[in-house]
Amino acid sequence: MGAMTGEAFINRLNQRKTEIWFNGNKVEGKISEHPAFKGLIHTKESLYDLQHDPTFNEDMTFSLPGKKERIGLSYLQPKTKDDLKRRRKMMEHWARHTHGMMGRSPDYMNSALMSFASSAAILKDRENCFPEHIQALYERAMNEDLSFAHSFITPQVNRSQINMGFSEEPISAKVVEKNEKGLVIKGARLLATQGGITDEILVFSAPRLFFDPDQAFAFSIPSDTEGLKFICRESFVGSESLFNHPLSARYEEMDSIVVFDNVLVPWERVFYYDNVDAAIDFLNKSSFYSFAYHQVIIRQVVKTEFILGVAELLVATINVSEYQHIQEKLSEIIIGLETMKALLDKSEADAEIDEWGYMRPSIIPLQVAGTIFPKMYPRFCEIIQLIGASGMVSLPTEKDFESPIRQDLEKYLQATNKTAEDRVKLFRLAWDLTMSPFGTRQIQYERYFFGDPIRLSSNLYKAYPKQLSVDRVSQFLHLKND
């Protein structure tokens, strides 16, 4: 089939019998019509349709020798810097279409899968490892344009350092049985964005201190596998009104807790299990981080452009561009944007061919970008609030504008060169972006995208090549013992 249409995406999703719990009830009926999911699903529909839009088709897809159908370009295994640029262009199109507000647009997981396939050789001939299952999934995903969710946070009864995390009753999802059909998994994962509303769920663990062998696995299974449950949080869709909630009505992605109730993972779906070394190697030596970061930073650049647009439009609407502190705040956003773009460019310019022949973006600039954005994004949202000031607080709704008080609103809320309606639309956008449950969840999401910020700093410090600088200082001082 190759690159899917939006319609095909929705139809396939509606046919799955995934067990999803929402506010105490099991979700029944077409998932694409459920108020908590419909906005997102229709936005994803439009993303898939972009692949077939004549304007974008060339940029969004590629041909594979011997295949008739064009394939979604997020599956492309890059071999040249030009391939990297093509990947970037494709991701920019999707990110622009959603203004960077969809954290898990399909290219994220597709890129992850592509990187897995491109590095599967790491697992070759190692115990309990099945690199061929990765390749098989990659091909199936490409052909069927499958959508994936991923879960990465394990429940923690106790976050103390000295707690080992072992307990008798499995709380974190772990292997409780192996039989001829496959692995049996019991336990939970805490946070899967779009969990339940994709075709499959890909499960693997970030290595950590006291890494339990029973948790050192990776696999992908259909969302409607028996025993698999997705427990949703409350919905952050403000309403279906695009006037009132321009972002949450379209981009609220839902997060869920994933419960494995003795779920059977067939052998052909297992990538590896019970091999701590392989699990660590696979994450650290594969191109996963390079390509995941590459996708994320591209999206964050687009999001920052959007933030800049909102900020500047607010400034123009209430006519405050002459104020020095406003200029300073806007220049802070500009600095953030240019910095992210420069780091992204550098990761591509310094890209190198890895040992399996794929062109891997340089990781250090991406890691730097991934370390600073979690601090920049909340600050950008604060800047939006500081520009909007008390104007963010009492905003009328779409219905107010359709009621007899419309004329009062038109008069009292007009701006220098904007109607009251346009002004309110803009402020509602600013509110949805920074002060609604959708907006604050986005802040928390960007803050923790790559995990604990303190650990990110620490990793960067450890990974960074510092010796040359140290040597130069030692030589300058003629130190003896270095």
Closest by CA position to 429, among listed 249, 248, 246? 246
Closest distance to a copy of itself from the beta carbon of 45 (Å) = 18
Nearer Cβ to a copy of itself (184/320): 320
Q: Is 269 annotated as a binding residue?
A: no
Residue pair 315/330 in contact by the 8 Å Cβ criterion = yes
Residues with Cβ within 8 Å of residue 362, at least 6 apart in sequence: 290, 346, 347, 348, 349, 350, 351, 352
CA gyration radius, the chain: 24
Provide the minimum distance between the beta carbon of 104 and a copy of itself in the complex, in angstroms, as a whole number: 13
Two tokens, residue 414:
């007009």
Nearer to a copy of itself, 353 or 405 (CB): 405
Of the pair 15, 23, the CB lying nearest a copy of itself is at 23
Q: Residue 327, annotated ligand binder? A: no
Please, what is the minimum distance in Å from the beta carbon of residue 212 to a copy of itself? 16
**194 annotated as ligand-binding:** no
CA atoms of 411 and 430, how far apart (whole Å): 21
Shortest Å, Cβ 232 to a copy of itself:
8
- Among residues 310, 340, 302, 334, the alpha carbon closest in space to that of 98 is found at 302
Residue 170 CB, shortest distance to a copy of itself, in Å, is 9
- Which residues, other chains included, contact 173 with Cβ-Cβ below 8 Å and sequence gap of 6+? 154, 185, 186, 187, 188, 189, 203, 215, 258, 260
Of residues 209 and 468, the one with the C-beta less far from a copy of itself: 468
Q: How far apart are CA 156 and CA 28, in angstroms?
A: 31
> Which residue, among 85, 66, 67, 63, has the nearest Cα to 75 in the 3D structure?
63
* Residue 156 marked in a binding site: yes
> Can you tell me the distance from the alpha carbon of 16 to that of 196, in angstroms, rounded to the nearest whole number?
10
Based on CB atoms, which residue is closest to a copy of itself, 131 or 187?
187
**Is position 212 annotated in a ligand binding site?**
no
Question: Is 199 annotated as a binding-site member?
Answer: no
302 is in an annotated binding site: no
Alpha carbon of residue 235 to chain centroid: 18
| Closest CB to a copy of itself among residues 15, 167 | 167
Minimum distance, C-beta of residue 135 to a copy of itself, in the bound complex (Å)? 32
